[in-house]
Chain A
Amino acid sequence: MMFIPHSDAERDEMLASIGIKSMDDLFEAIPKKYRFPKINLHEGMTEIEASAQLKEIAEADLSVEDVSCFMGAGAYHHYIPAAIDNLISRGEFYTAYTPYQPEISQGTLQGIFEYQSLIARLTGMEAANASHYDGATACAEAGILAYHQYRGKRKKILVSPGLHPHYAAVMRTYLENFEGVHVEIPEFKSLDSVTPQNLADLIDEDTAMVMVQYPDFFGQLFDYSEFAETVHSKGALFCMSVNPIALGLLKTPGAMGADIVVGEGQPLGIPLSLGGPYLGLFAAKKDLIRKVSGRIVGETVDNRGQKAYVLTLTAREQHIRREKATSNICSNQGLNALTAAIYLSLLGKEGLQDVARLCYDKAHYAAEIINKIPGFQVINSTPFFHEFVVACPEPVSEINEHLLHHGILGGFDLSRMIPSLQNVMLIAVTELNSKESIDDLCRILSGEDNDEES
């Protein structure tokens, strides 16, 4: 039987040693009425059959590798160096559990320690945890931290309308049941109004935390240094949700005065996989570390005098503190954190700058020429990173359908998340978009395709 090694003889020998006659005798504690229900499933398959079936199912999907992809909005198509999958496919890494036994888990522990170090360095913060589920839950966990920091006395979590709408929604879901807390998100009016200045006016003495995204959902970049001072002058915490690739070039949240940095780590070598599993980045100033949720690895020594690593500050966590824990998180994104660490190590200083620069330059090239197409207009008026907003002459869904016929996965239709943004597309460009593919996109958008279809 599949994955169960026992022969019938061995089974019988084991039953005899326990002192029972049949497998059914193992389950006498279960009320008869409920025991051995019928399960209406198919019969099992061999590996050959299952593999063929999965291949067929996969072929019904359109892989972004087979198109030219301009879709981002929180998940980005980057190149994943071959060494990564090779390393994380080592059974020693992926078939291990959470490193509760440090003597035989130093591979995982040192890997996470290095991940924490890399994320701290990348964000310009002093400390990082071992991961949260994804960008959205990392935002929510930051909100919970802020709630605890003020012992529930400050009730407002102020969120920029430039935060990914899904992240904002998840913050609402998570914080809803905390006594009196409200997540305040100014309504989106126009792109011009999504600025730090407009948000600053809403900070008051009841504000526990202010949350912005950098670059924001619409690609916009602001220097938040002054804004951070305003937030701090009101006594609140300042949290930034970041795109880690952008930090290859851009001023760090640490340098701008952020207290907490969260973000989606998917761009760091993690496949798109229809949205998950991704990687929730979480970094903070050192004096907040005892309030941070999730696992944290620290350096120590073993009894042979070797430098080593352990899970530390565990008195924050659910397995010790139960209802008083900082969060309920247990399993996290261990292997994806390792992936991000390997990605950052491979690219290193220069590679990370290069990929950020390629994204930036290609996005700006694309914006420039799209803006010249009659009927299309780039509406970002401030600097942006690798994503920008385009007003289109027709519904985005129609344009995208047309693009798809030409092997192009168009930008994100913003009306799907922000209904007032009809005919507006969010376009993302990465190092994988060649000049040629950008030119193709523009050619088709401008209707220069005398196409054979439709």
Chain B
Amino acid sequence: MMKNREEKTIFEISSEGRKGFRFPKSDVQSAEIPDELLRENLPMPELSEIDVVRHYTHLSSLNYSVDAGFYPLGSCTMKYNPKICEKAARFSGFSQLHPLQPVETVQGALLILYEMQEMLQEISGFRACSLTPAAGAHGEFSGVKMIAAYHQQRKNSHRKTMLIPDSAHGTNPASSVMCGFRVQPVNTNERGNIDLSSLAAFCNDELAGIMITNPNTLGLFDENLVEAIDMVHQAGGLVYGDGANMNALMGIAKPAELGFDVMHFNLHKTFATPHGGGGPGAGAVCCTERLRDYLPGPIAGVIEPASDEMPPLYGWKTPERSIGQIGSFWGHFDVIVKAYIYCLMLGRDGLKRVAEFATLNANYLMHALKADYPLPYDRICMHEFVLDVKWPDAPDIRALDVAKRLMDYDFHPPTNYFPLIVHEALMIEPTETESKQTLDQFIDAMRKIAKEAHEQPDLLHDAPVNTPFGRMDEVKAAKDLKIAE
């Protein structure tokens, strides 16, 4: 009999009259509140501090995390999150700044934002950068909207088609629609590149642009990239870069030099800021000279140049034709501070080594696994690769089963069922921070699972069994919808 790992909710452990935190007695007179403005009851839990601490500590023990083990979640870049970044971001001079303080009192913070913009520009080859987007998808929204604004300004509003390769992440089409575009999928060819004849069919005067993820979500550097970008430019379109996979490109190639016009970074992927169980991240957007006036603002800039005695004065600047404000304030400063420290520590050579070792690790795994797992695109990959779990001699085993069984071996599963063009996709991204020993243990587990799939398939169907919880009844969750108690 396995131990029951259910945790009571904070409402179930609530006990009337308990307090977990006390405020000082008021030092002013109590003011009157009109009765009709008062709420009737406040159904909040009543707990002591130790109740709360134990509850959340117990909950935390039910999570898998990068700090606990290998997390090869493709497209998510689950690398190690350096602890110094957490510590420094909590310095009072960063964490306790009001967003509307006079700029003279936040010169340190503005310096960080300014230098981070410059570093991202240098890494990507772009000429301008805004750090305001809250996440990758928010960066996409900004960048694609900049493309819309660009066409509109040139009286080209009839350019309504946004091309999106069929391997793209779901945020790409969703962002395009929010910017008023019609989405047109473009095929991927048998080498995992953009199919140029499919692309050519849409290169007309309705073309607004294309969103390209490079390396793409198959983990491949698109061999048709430069030609595809050229075709889109020739047809009057602009090229958006989904920079989710920049971990493979730092110091290896600059997106702006490859021809991209605008791109977002996911600082929570490439620059090692933590994912927080779903966020917050940060999604800086960078662009070329011709799009810089459209960037979302405000952006950190020098408002008074340095003189002999004084350093420059930093402040906020909003570009002339900005697509506007996209969030409550100026972006995810706390996340940016962490990314900034990471860049400082790695420096020029370190960032390039990140891309090199991320790519080395992925190829090492891919090479070791392809004897046991179908590999739909068999060529040198970048920082990740995709397996297709379809064995003719184990037809009832799916990618999901392998993923679940991996948990029994104490690994987090890879991303599954993405990209959509690989039906039984397992997308594996080891990142550079994993050692050869860890990779070897993973290879060993994957091989055992491949063997089990053929010899004892029920071990996979029943998996996971060594985890605090087993497979979930997803249908019940949606049918008997209970999303609050």
Q: Do residues A169 and B31 form an inter-chain contact, with CB atoms below 8 A?
A: no
Q: Do residues A43 and B99 form an inter-chain contact, with CB atoms below 8 A?
A: no
Q: Do residues A318 and B171 form an inter-chain contact, with CB atoms below 8 A?
A: yes
Chain A residues with CB below 8 A from B477, complex form: 298-300, 309-310, 312
Alpha-carbon distance A118/B42, docked complex (angstroms): 10
Stretch at the interface among A133-141, A152-160, A199-207: A133-141
**Partner of A71 from B93, B98, B107, B221 at Cβ < 8 Å:** B98
A116 within 8 A of B: yes
Chain A residues with CB below 8 A from B136, complex form: 330-331
1/0 per residue, CB under 8 A from B, across A391-416: the answer is 00000010011001000010010001
Chain B residues with CB below 8 A from A170, complex form: 324-328
Chain A residues with CB below 8 A from B56, complex form: 87, 90, 111, 338, 342
Q: Do residues B254 and A34 form an inter-chain contact, with CB atoms below 8 A?
A: yes
Chain A residues with CB below 8 A from B483, complex form: 113, 116, 127-128, 289, 296-299, 312
Alpha-carbon distance A89/B141, docked complex (angstroms): 31
A-B contacts counted at CB < 8 A amount to 680
A177 within 8 A of B: yes
**Partner of B173 from A26, A79, A318 at Cβ < 8 Å:** A318
Q: Do residues B324 and A275 form an inter-chain contact, with CB atoms below 8 A?
A: no
Alpha-carbon distance A2/B349, docked complex (angstroms): 10
Chain B residues with CB below 8 A from A182, complex form: none
Q: Do residues B66 and A96 form an inter-chain contact, with CB atoms below 8 A?
A: yes
* Beta-carbon nearest neighbor of A7 in chain B: B436
B371 within 8 A of A: no
**Partner of B326 from A120, A126, A173, A273 at Cβ < 8 Å:** A173
* Beta-carbon nearest neighbor of B97 in chain A: A274
A336 within 8 A of B: yes
Within 8 A of A (CB), among B345-403: 345-354, 356-357, 359-361, 363-364, 367-368, 379-380, 403
A383 within 8 A of B: yes
Within 8 A of B (CB), among A54-89: 54-55, 57-66, 69, 71, 73-75, 77, 79, 81, 83, 85-87, 89
**Partner of B137 from A25, A83, A328 at Cβ < 8 Å:** A328
Q: Do residues A92 and B61 form an inter-chain contact, with CB atoms below 8 A?
A: yes
Alpha-carbon distance A64/B254, docked complex (angstroms): 40
Residue in A66, A325, A401 whose Cβ sees the most chain B Cβ within 10 Å: A325
Q: Do residues B360 and A94 form an inter-chain contact, with CB atoms below 8 A?
A: no
Q: Do residues A327 and B178 form an inter-chain contact, with CB atoms below 8 A?
A: yes
Alpha-carbon distance A173/B274, docked complex (angstroms): 29
Tally of contact residues, A, Cβ under 8 A: 208
Residue in B19, B86, B97, B379 whose Cβ sees the most chain A Cβ within 10 Å: B97
A189 within 8 A of B: no
A277 within 8 A of B: yes
Known: A133-B135, A361-B26. A94 touches B345 (CB 8 A): no
Q: Do residues A250 and B252 form an inter-chain contact, with CB atoms below 8 A?
A: no
Q: Do residues A39 and B170 form an inter-chain contact, with CB atoms below 8 A?
A: no
**Partner of A35 from B19, B27, B252, B328 at Cβ < 8 Å:** B252
Q: Do residues A61 and B107 form an inter-chain contact, with CB atoms below 8 A?
A: yes
Chain A residues with CB below 8 A from B364, complex form: 14, 17-18
Min CB distance, A177 to chain B, in Å? 3
Stretch at the interface among B197-205, B232-240, B333-341, B451-459: B333-341
Q: Do residues A114 and B6 form an inter-chain contact, with CB atoms below 8 A?
A: no
Q: Do residues B6 and A306 form an inter-chain contact, with CB atoms below 8 A?
A: yes
B292 within 8 A of A: no
1/0 per residue, CB under 8 A from A, across B295-333: the answer is 010000000000000000000000000011111111111
**Partner of A50 from B84, B134, B404, B485 at Cβ < 8 Å:** B84
Min CB distance, B246 to chain A, in Å? 13
Instruction: Classify the interface of chain B: helix, strand, loop or mixed.
Output: loop
Within 8 A of B (CB), among A251-291: 251-252, 255, 264, 271-278, 289
B445 within 8 A of A: no
Q: Do residues A177 and B96 form an inter-chain contact, with CB atoms below 8 A?
A: no
Q: Do residues B140 and A122 form an inter-chain contact, with CB atoms below 8 A?
A: no
Q: Do residues A327 and B84 form an inter-chain contact, with CB atoms below 8 A?
A: no
Chain A residues with CB below 8 A from B80, complex form: 3
B189 within 8 A of A: no
Q: Do residues B5 and A306 form an inter-chain contact, with CB atoms below 8 A?
A: yes
Q: Do residues A276 and B98 form an inter-chain contact, with CB atoms below 8 A?
A: no
Min CB distance, B220 to chain A, in Å? 7
Q: Do residues B469 and A302 form an inter-chain contact, with CB atoms below 8 A?
A: yes
Min CB distance, A124 to chain B, in Å? 8
Q: Do residues A41 and B122 form an inter-chain contact, with CB atoms below 8 A?
A: yes
1/0 per residue, CB under 8 A from A, across B46-75: the answer is 110100110111011111111110010100
Alpha-carbon distance A92/B268, docked complex (angstroms): 17
Q: Do residues A331 and B349 form an inter-chain contact, with CB atoms below 8 A?
A: no
**Partner of A95 from B34, B66, B258, B480 at Cβ < 8 Å:** B66
**Partner of A107 from B59, B174, B252, B478 at Cβ < 8 Å:** B59
Alpha-carbon distance A112/B56, docked complex (angstroms): 12
Q: Do residues A177 and B482 form an inter-chain contact, with CB atoms below 8 A?
A: no
Chain B residues with CB below 8 A from A69, complex form: 98
Alpha-carbon distance A358/B76, docked complex (angstroms): 43
Min CB distance, B324 to chain A, in Å? 4
Min CB distance, B193 to chain A, in Å? 10
A108 within 8 A of B: yes
Q: Do residues A277 and B334 form an inter-chain contact, with CB atoms below 8 A?
A: yes
Alpha-carbon distance A73/B100, docked complex (angstroms): 8
Q: Do residues A323 and B484 form an inter-chain contact, with CB atoms below 8 A?
A: no
Min CB distance, B369 to chain A, in Å? 12
**Partner of A355 from B23, B138, B415 at Cβ < 8 Å:** B23
6 A-B contacts (beta carbon < 8 Å)? A51-B88, A71-B101, A94-B275, A97-B78, A277-B134, A330-B170
